[in-house]
Amino acid sequence: MTHKLPPGQFETEKWPILHEGEIYQFKENAWQFKIFSEVETEVILSYKEMMNLPKARTTIDMHCVTTWSKFGTTFEGILLRDLLSLVTVGENVKYVKIYGYLNDDPFGYSANLPLHELNGDDSLFVTRYKDAHHEWQDITAKHGYPLRFIPPASFYLWKGTKWATGIELMTEDEPGYWEERGYSMTANPHNEERFR
Ligand SMILES: Nc1nc2c(c(=O)[nH]1)N[C@H]1C(S)=C(S)[C@@H](COP(=O)(O)O)O[C@H]1N2
Ligand SMILES: [Mo]
């Protein structure tokens, strides 16, 4: 695999930790994941139902807007396209918003993304990872346990919602948490799309 360092980034072997609010404390009974809005019938999954879905593995480079890039982390998780196969997506849906916890609010954090760029093998809600310094292990609480979205490498990492709780299907692009605060809607690190 060829690793390309985007402009203005430096490579780190560590995996820094960045987020707003408290680290979410997982309680299985209270946890659920919702796929909603422009769908025929919305779906709510329990933790067990989520974990019983097929798992995929992919190696993805991460690029954080604070200028670090981490190459070659291998993730295991549930492909976004497999989750969307559980619903009938409205025909005019072009964008998604991926929600996660901010403190006690399960929908307090969000990030918007174009759906057509999330159909690949590099678009998954991860549960485990492995890198040069770690054997296979669960995603830690700080990185988003029990379920965390990792975006394709063509997006900055703020599009990777930790403590993920749902996918909203949308016909129009709508800003998420950081996008409302001035960050880029498209967020391609190779074009250095940091701000809007
Ligand atoms: N729920 C939630 N997800 C989040 C955030 C957050 O504040 N809350 N921060 C985002 C930002 S700005 C970054 S850079 C990455 C950092 O991921 P990491 O701490 O695993 O490196 O998480 C993203 N996902
Ligand atoms: Mo960030």
User: Tell me, what's the pLDDT at 4?
Assistant: 86
List CB contacts of 71: < 8 A, sequence separation 6 or more: 3, 11, 61
Residue nearest to ligand 1 atom 10, measured at CA = 158
Indicate the top mutation candidate among 9, 157, 163 to test ligand 1's pocket, ranked by most ligand atoms within 8 A of CB.
157
Residue nearest to ligand 1 atom 16, measured at CA = 18
User: Tell me, what's the pLDDT at 21?
Assistant: 98
Nearest-angstrom CA–CA distance, 37 and 45: 15
pTM of the model: 0.98
* 30-189: CATH topology: Sulfite Oxidase; Chain A, domain 2 (3.90.420)
Q: Where are the domains of the chain?
A: 30-189
Strands 56-63 and 68-79: antiparallel
* Ligand located closest to 129 CA: 1
Calculate ∠ Cα 93-57-110, nearest 5°. 40
User: Tell me, what's the pLDDT at 1?
Assistant: 55
Nearest-angstrom CA–CA distance, 8 and 71: 15
User: Tell me, what's the pLDDT at 153?
Assistant: 97
Nearest-angstrom CA–CA distance, 50 and 124: 13
pLDDT in tens, the chain (196 residues): 568 899 999 999 999 999 999 999 999 999 999 999 999 999 999 999 999 999 999 999 999 999 999 999 999 999 999 999 999 999 999 999 999 999 999 999 999 999 999 999 999 999 999 999 999 999 999 999 999 999 999 999 999 999 999 999 999 999 999 999 999 999 999 999 999 9
Distance from the alpha carbon of residue 91 to the mean position of ligand 1, in angstroms: 30
Residue nearest to ligand 1 atom 24, measured at CA = 161
Atom of ligand 1 nearest to the CA of 64: 14
Calculate ∠ Cα 15-80-84, nearest 5°. 160
Residue 47, CB-side half-sphere exposure with 13 Å CA sphere:
12
